[in-house]
Chains A and B, each alone.
Chain A
Amino acid sequence: MGAAKAGQDDAMHQLLDRHYDRLYAICLRIMGNQHDAADACQEALLLLVRKISQFDERAKFSTWSHRVATNAALDELRRKHRRPVSGSDTIDSILKDSPAFDRLVAERMTIDDALLHIPENFRVPVVMRDLVGMDYAEIGETLGIPAGTVRSRIARGRAQLATALGNSDDPNQRQS
């Protein structure tokens, strides 16, 4: 970390390489499609390398970088607000284009497909809570909504995710 902050090329490269997949996952699950996720992730990487010298190491690098990625994705989301690409289409094209692309990928795409069924205002708090690890207050502060609303949206978003994945009954049919 110190070496990266001091401007050493190889140290920074290793840092990005080590954390890239996680940062991309955060962007993908907030943005909802690979194209926008790639844009957001690129922006996050640029922010990281530009701000690394200001990183005070009070938090872990992973914690800090995840928040940078979250904010980059939220900025991208606000800026673009375009309709996400269907996850099913993505799966089909991947499987068609690359027969060696294995089942593991398809299963993960199914998760992304399920996330697409969740409205953005529920999906984003769920990702921030469950993928980035932010608490209700932090999420509320970032999104500009009260913590109680965050709690409620996370509850509904999680229920919808479980339903979309076929793990649970439709929430509308649950006991009340």
Chain B
Amino acid sequence: MTPDDLVSGYIDDDLNDEQRAWVESDPVLRQQVLDTSAAIEAMGEVVPTPAEVRERQIDEAMQAFRAEGSASSPNSSASADGSAPPPSPFTPPPPKAEGRSGPGDGDAQIISLEHRRQANRRVNVLVGAAGVVVLAGLGVLATIGGNSGGPLTDNFALDRSADEMDADTSAESFGEQFKAGRDSGSVAAEAGQREAASAEEASDESMEYDSMEDDDSEESDAADTAASGLDSSTTREMAPIVLDAQTSSELLSIQRELAEGPLRPTAESVCADSSNITLAGRVIIGYVPVVVGDTLAELIVMETSRGDRQSQLLTVSDCRTVELG
């Protein structure tokens, strides 16, 4: 059995106990399970369909439906005597703005690029001020679930050893957590029903960033690993920028504000278009440029399909991860 078979079988609950234990004890396989699950989740998200296509197709189907009805059912709303069927009481929803629909309509206000630019200019001013505060500090704060303890002297090494420790100690909780997720409907095929549940879950979890500071939280372990928005294989090869604890603290405040504030989708983040970051199943809902030392960076806030908000601090020059301490 190949690693791919083990990962796929684990997701489908199609392994025996020994194979399952093998997956849960292997950090690489565990990560692959999480990554693959994220990909499946992403695939299950509803595809925005152009409104005109949607309406035309439904209209054509309805014409066929009426024709079927008039041919086979004398009691159908299409009358058998050939007269026109009565007008439908159904009122289609009003067309979406700009003739396109998207899953964010109604939930997150989608604003035009020009509006975004104006908003971003306003944000830049605010962030300029924030940047001054940030510069007064040091250190780095991190990707979600980052170390809230003291400053890091070697973030990369610490991160890795933490990962390894997690792998050794939390295989059981990984299995339980994954199974709970699967049982609650993590297969993309059930995404429709899941959306409502996710919304509820998201509101329950609107503590969002509280969990970032809770290093002991079982829940945050796998979630952090699963959702680190960056492809570690590419980003960690580049030297991370290390910030001090105070700067990290300031950035964490900004993160919180972002998480709680009225963020809007943006298409203007330089890093959002970088191949160095992975956005599978995550939607960038806001970003803020910040100054880290003499380096311009972006704090990106993303939302997963579960409604969790996550953030990453990235340098603009090459969209490297800035590891926060």
Interface residues, chain A, CB within 8 Å of chain B? 6-10, 12-14, 16-17, 20-22, 24-25, 28-29, 38, 41-42, 45-46, 48-50, 52-53, 62, 66, 95, 98-108, 110-112, 114-115, 126-127, 129-133, 151-152, 154-156, 158-159, 161-162, 165-169, 171, 174-176
Q: Which residues of B contact A161 (CB under 8 A)?
A: 36, 39-40, 43
- A152's partner among B5, B75, B92 (CB-CB below 8 A) is B5
Could you tell me which residues of chain B, from 227 to 276, have a CB within 8 Å of some CB in chain A? 231, 233-234, 265-267, 272, 275
Residue from the list B53, B89, B283 in contact with A10, Cβ < 8 A: B89
Given A42-B57, A158-B11, list of 17 further CB < 8 A pairs? A7-B76, A9-B90, A10-B88, A16-B61, A20-B58, A38-B57, A45-B60, A49-B64, A99-B113, A108-B45, A151-B5, A154-B8, A158-B36, A159-B32, A165-B39, A167-B36, A167-B38
**B110 is contacted by which of A100, A132, A151 (Cβ under 8 Å)?**
A100
User: A133 to B190, Cβ gap below 8 A?
Assistant: yes
Kindly state the separation between the CA atoms of A132 and B62 in the bound complex, as whole angstroms: 24
Asked if A50 and B64 sit within 8 Å, CB to CB, the answer is yes
Q: Given the complex, which residues of B lie within 8 Å of A155, measured CB to CB?
A: 2, 4-5, 7-9
Count residues of B near A (Cβ-Cβ below 8 Å): 82
Whether B199 is near chain A, meaning CB under 8 Å from some CB there, is no
Cα distance A131–B42 in the bound complex, in angstroms: 10
Name the CB-closest residue of A to B66. A9
Question: Could you say which of A7, A48, A111, A115 contacts B69, with CB atoms under 8 Å apart?
Answer: A7
Q: How far is the CB of A40 from chain B (nearest CB, A)?
A: 11
Contact B8 A24 (CB under 8 A): no
A21 in contact with B58 (CB, 8 Å): no
B279 contacts the other chain (CB 8 A): yes
B284 sits at the interface (CB 8 A):
yes
With A102-B265, A158-B36: A24-B110 Cβ-Cβ less than 8 Å: no
What total count of A-B pairs have CB within 8 Å? 231
Name B residues whose Cβ lies closer than 8 Å to a Cβ of A.
2-5, 7-9, 11-12, 14, 28, 31-32, 35-36, 38-40, 42-49, 53-54, 57-58, 60-62, 64-66, 68-69, 72-73, 75-78, 85-86, 88-90, 92, 97-98, 100, 102-104, 108, 110-114, 187-190, 192, 231, 233-234, 265-267, 272, 275, 278-284
Contacts of A52 in B (CB 8 A): 65
> Bound state CA distance, A156 and B6, in angstroms?
11
Cβ contacts A to B, 23 pairs, < 8 Å: A7-B65, A7-B69, A7-B77, A16-B61, A17-B92, A29-B47, A45-B61, A46-B61, A98-B100, A101-B102, A102-B104, A104-B265, A130-B187, A130-B189, A133-B190, A154-B8, A155-B2, A158-B4, A158-B36, A158-B39, A161-B43, A166-B231, A169-B233
Q: Establish whether residues A62 and B75, one from each chain, have CB atoms under 8 Å apart when the complex forms.
A: no
Q: Decide if B57 touches A20 in the complex (CB within 8 Å).
A: yes
Shortest distance between the CB of A175 and any CB in chain B (Å): 6
- B279 surroundings in chain A (CB, below 8 A): 107, 110
Bound Cα distance from A167 to B231, whole angstroms: 6
Closest to A16 in B: B58
Could you tell me the distance between the alpha carbons of A8 and B88 in the complex, rounded to whole angstroms? 9
Decide: A48 near B61, CB < 8 A? Known: A7-B73, A13-B90, A155-B7.
yes
Partner of B43, one of A49, A106, A130: A130
In the complex formed, the residue of A with least CB distance to B284 is: A103
Which 10 residue pairs spanning A and B have beta carbons closest together?
A: A7-B76, A133-B189, A155-B8, A167-B35, A45-B61, A49-B65, A10-B90, A165-B280, A7-B69, A166-B278
The residues of B that contact A114 with a CB separation of less than 8 Å are 39, 280
Instruction: Please give the distance in Å from B82's CB to the nearest CB on chain A.
Output: 16
Q: Please name the residue on chain B nearest to A8 by beta carbon.
A: B77
Residue of A nearest to B49 (CB): A24
- Bound-state CA distance A114–B279 (Å) is 12
Could you tell me if A115 and B92 are in contact, using CB atoms closer than 8 angstroms? no
- Check A108/B92 contact, CB under 8 A, given A46-B60, A103-B265: no
- Among A103, A111, A131, contact of B272 (Cβ-Cβ < 8 Å): A103
A168 touches B90 (CB 8 A): no
Residues of B within 8 A of A112 (CB): 47
**Interface pair A49/B62, CB less than 8 Å apart:** yes
Inter-chain CA distance A156–B4, complex, in Å, is 6
How distant is the Cα of A8 from the Cα of B85 in the complex, in angstroms?
A: 10
